[in-house]
Amino acid sequence: MILDSFHLSGKTAIVTGASTGLGEGMAEALAQAGADIVGVARSSCDGARKKVEAAGRKFLEINADLVSLEPIERIVEGTKKEFGKIDILVNNAGIIRREDAINFTEKDWDDVLNVNLKTLFFLSQRVAKEFVAQGNGGKIVNIASMLSYQGGIRVPSYTSAKSGVMGLTRLLANEWAKYGINVNGIAPGYMATNNTKALREDAQRNAEILGRIPAGRWGTPEDLGGAVVFLCSRAADYVQGYTLAVDGGWLAR
């Protein structure tokens, strides 16, 4: 039956950036659909652990700084040691730095590109090798942004990285579809998390943004639950290289 194809029972999902915000919300949704979760972040993932365990699933926390590639092997081996296999990777960890392009520093460029794009690629590559060796395909979901489609202002490294994420999602889908690996993206709209705290605290920017969202509200981590479960499930087996906007209508304006 159709709803069975959305179930993730028996699956193991790695979610990067699971310590808060959208990653914590997606970890909870995947667990409610039946997956055990490996949460990756620099700080504690206790919030995600509680939600995953409340859904009756297992949770493994791996503390790692994804600004470098060093933790990748540890994440993959730790997951295999605990759960024996990997079925799903959600590349969600991301940072943003705000400054006028004219004054933007090399560090703010490198840090954002490293976490949001370089590690996303090499972690995907390492997990895809595992998927190929396991022989059952797999699902990769990359978290993109409205700035995969638009330029934005004062966020040059973020726009570059997120535009890259959407292009890379297409490329990886093209190359890896033959292994039964689905690579897709989710482009969240303006969501109420730490990432957008500065915008929401600026009364003028907050009003401008809200006024442009057809749904008339900021998104929440729960708003991504349906999209991530779908893209990680058998129901999406023929969906490849697509970035699904979950944006309250922002891109439709």
Q: Which residues are catalytic?
A: 158
* Binding test (CB under 6 A) with ligand NAP, winner from 163, 169, 195, 233: 195
Q: What does the alpha-carbon distance between residue 138 and residue 180 come to, in Å, rounded to a whole number?
A: 7
Nearer to ligand NAP, 137 or 185 (CB): 185
* Binding test (CB under 6 A) with ligand NAP, winner from 8, 14, 19, 230: 19
With residues binned 3-state (H G I as helix, E B as strand, rest as coil), the percentages for the chain, rounded to 5, are 50, 15, 30
Is residue 89 involved in binding ligand NAP (CB under 6 A)? no
Is residue 31 involved in binding ligand NAP (CB under 6 A)? no
Query: DSSP code of 154?
Result: S
| Nearest alpha-carbon partner for 242 in 92, 139, 111, 155 | 139
* Binding test (CB under 6 A) with ligand NAP, winner from 23, 156, 185, 248: 23
Sheet holding 36-41, edge to edge: 59-63, 36-41, 12-16, 88-91, 138-143, 181-188, 243-246
Smallest separation (angstroms) from ligand NAP to the CB of 140: 14
Check: CB of residue 94 under 8 Å from CB of residue 20.
no
String of contacts with ligand NAP for each residue 39-58, x by CB under 6 A: --xxx---------------
> Could you identify the residue written with the tokens 């087996």?
237
SS3 assignment, position 178: helix
Nearer to ligand NAP, 21 or 137 (CB): 21
Provide the sign of the torsion angle of the four alpha carbons 9, 10, 16, 21, taken in this order: positive
* Binding test (CB under 6 A) with ligand NAP, winner from 15, 21, 108, 183: 21
Is residue 164 involved in binding ligand NAP (CB under 6 A)? no
- Interface stretch with ligand NAP, choices 53-61, 62-70, 128-136, 205-213 (CB under 6 A): 62-70
- The interface with ligand NAP within residues 105-124 (CB under 6 A) comprises 115
Q: How many residues does the chain have?
A: 253
Residue 95, CA atoms < 13 Å, CB-side half-sphere: 17
* Binding test (CB under 6 A) with ligand NAP, winner from 94, 137, 164, 241: 94
Is residue 190 involved in binding ligand NAP (CB under 6 A)? yes
Q: Applying CB under 6 A, which residues contact ligand NAP?
A: 17-23, 41-43, 64-67, 92-95, 115, 143, 145, 188, 190-191, 193-196
